[in-house]
Amino acid sequence: MKNDFKFCPNCASKNITNTNNRKWECGDCGFVLYNNSATAVGVIIVNKVGQILMEVRAKEPKFGMLDVPGGFVEHGETAEVACVRECREELGVEIKDLKYLCSFPNTYEYKNIQYKTCDMFFIAKIADDAKFKLQADEVSNIKWCDLKNKQDLYNLPLAFDSAYNALVFYLGEK
């Protein structure tokens, strides 16, 4: 998969060059576009018996596969605020005891464009009696998974490598 422009987004010239899928330059108008990593968050929500909440994705990429709640950090937002917002939006719940865990690079492909991301993962809890209200266009279902080791993760249809790596890290840290 290669991100490419056939025309300059500024002047429509065909005189645009691509350097390592990271920088595009127009030889006619001087337009420069950098493709830097986007920031995203994931939240490992753990219940009182140690199970981890997994979402079933309701959209591409990776429709039907499992992921932890999360998403892209919006402009002007901290990673922690993004965690709270994403859990409210996707699950309809309030998280508590949010703690940073780790980060991993990821590739998020959407509509034939590859987005390189830096995914920051956090651990959080929710109230034992939390009532879920799933955002239907994002999450089709949730599952509480009893994950004790790497082998348990092999059996899950995880959507993204970064979530797999964060869960391995979490299991090694607890």
pLDDT tens sequence for the chain (174 residues): 466 778 999 999 999 998 887 899 999 999 999 989 999 999 999 999 999 999 999 999 999 999 999 999 999 999 999 999 999 999 999 999 999 999 999 998 888 888 899 999 999 999 999 999 999 999 999 999 999 998 899 889 999 999 999 999 999 975
| Cα 4 from Cα 150, distance rounded (Å) | 37
Q: Are 147 and 141 in contact (CB under 8 A)?
A: no
The predicted structure's pLDDT at residue 93: 98
What's the farthest any 2 CA atoms get from each other in the chain?
62
Same domain, 24 and 110: no
Q: Are residues 20 and 104 in the same domain?
A: no
User: Tell me, what's the pLDDT at 115?
Assistant: 86
- Go through the chain and tell me how many residues it has: 174
26 and 95 in a single domain? The answer is no
pLDDT score for 1: 45
Full residue range of the structural domain in which residue 51 is found: 38-173
Q: Are 22 and 105 in contact (CB under 8 A)?
A: no
The two structure tokens encoding residue 127: 């109230």
- Judge if 77 and 136 occupy the same domain: yes
Element (H, E) at 152: helix 150-154
* 103 shares its domain with 158: yes
Question: What total number of domains does the chain contain?
Answer: 2
Residues 108 and 51: beta-carbon distance below 8 Å: no
pLDDT recorded at residue 5: 79
In 13-149, DSSP assigns E strands to 16-19, 23-26, 32-34, 38-45, 52-57, 66-67, 70-72, 95-110, 113-126, 139-145
DSSP state of 60: S
Question: Are 46 and 121 within 8 A, CB to CB?
Answer: no
Same domain flag for 22 and 48: no
Rg (CA), the chain: 19
Express the helix, strand and coil content of the chain in percent, nearest 5 each. 20, 40, 45
